Amino acid sequence: MPRGRFAPSPSGPLHIGNLRTALVAWLLARHTGGEFLIRIEDLDPATSRPGVARSQLEDLRRLGLDWDEPPLFQSTRRHAHHAAVEQLVARDLAYPCWCSRREIREAPRAPHTPEGAYPGTCRDLDEEARARRAASADRPPALRLRADRLVADRRVTFVDEMAGPVSVLVDDVVLRRGDGLPSYHVAVVLDDDHQGVDQVVRGDDLLTTTPRHLVLAAAWGLTPPRHHHVPLVLAPDGTRLAKRHGAVTLADRLALGDHPRRVVGRLAESLGLAEPGEHLGPDDLLDRFDPSRLPRTPWRLRPRDIEEPW
């Protein structure tokens, strides 16, 4: 049976873009006769705020989205994440890295390498150089994957269900952060496999990150899910939507006088699944849903979309 999921981070309220992605993920799972799961990605205690997960789940319920198992909190899987990383260490597929974000940003890199990709500074240090680096560092090292031992030319190509063929040069992704926490990349790959997720719907800001996840899945011998990267919702100024832009959360919309079914209707309208002004629940959209016809461009809000009732 197909299994989809929605995996928010409990760092703040869900905004319209998050809710739209959740709706698409739910529709895809139900449309294919599958199950829908929720995973709370609370791996990082520094960004996980108390009570936020509960309010996020309540927002999803208000919109009429349901799920088939109790939500999985990612932090409860930390032991499994660490064990999987140690497997890669034992296979000599990892190395320590002391580079700061600034050093990575300013380091020269090969042509066509994605912005922010790790250039391999610490990868080939010999024992003496590694010891000097450790002695002079003011923080513990992160642990990175040796992607060159898994992908010969570092290029990974896959077919996204919405974006089509994607080809990206992969870098040496972080496996364990300097503070000892497993990385997001490690956790998402392992937890999708643990939950039996075979269809992932998420924002297309993660499209070029997916090849890293495919490399990790291959390293552990896992079957990766199929990916559907949904174009983002943008603010009127063209930037990524955020709380600072105005009435962009469900609580904001309700305070303006909108009803949850009107919010679903407006989200559905932006996806080409509803006519203007319709009040709908997710169940009303199942007969209309066709993933091949979803828009491939961002939804850019107008000022009145965040200032006035829908």
Question: Has residue 115 got a pLDDT over 90?
Answer: no
Question: Has residue 85 got a pLDDT over 90?
Answer: yes
pLDDT recorded at residue 195: 98
**Residue range 10-16: average pLDDT?**
95
pLDDT recorded at residue 273: 97
pLDDT tens across 170-204, in order? 999 999 999 999 999 999 999 999 999 999 999 99
**Residue range 99-106: average pLDDT?**
80
Question: Has residue 110 got a pLDDT over 80?
Answer: no
pLDDT tens across 229-245, in order? 999 999 999 999 988 89
- Mode of pairing for the β-strands spanning 155-160 and 164-169: antiparallel
pLDDT recorded at residue 50: 87
* Strand partners for 174: 144
Angstrom distance (rounded) from CA 307 to CA 310: 9
pLDDT tens across 123-149, in order? 989 888 898 988 888 889 999 999 999
The candidate with the shortest Cα–Cα distance to 195, out of 77, 48, 47, 58, is: 77
Catalytic residues: 243
Describe the crossing of helices 52-62 and 16-31 by its angle, rounded to 10 degrees.
60
pLDDT band of residue 223 (cuts 50, 70, 90) is: very high
233's enclosing H/E stretch is: strand 233-234
pTM of the full structure: 0.93
pLDDT recorded at residue 187: 98
Question: Has residue 69 got a pLDDT over 90?
Answer: yes
DSSP state of 36: E
* Strand partners for 227: 200
pLDDT recorded at residue 111: 63
Mean pLDDT of all residues belonging to the chain: 94
Domains of the chain (ranges; CATH) run 3-70+231-305 (3.40.50.620), 89-185 (3.90.800.10)
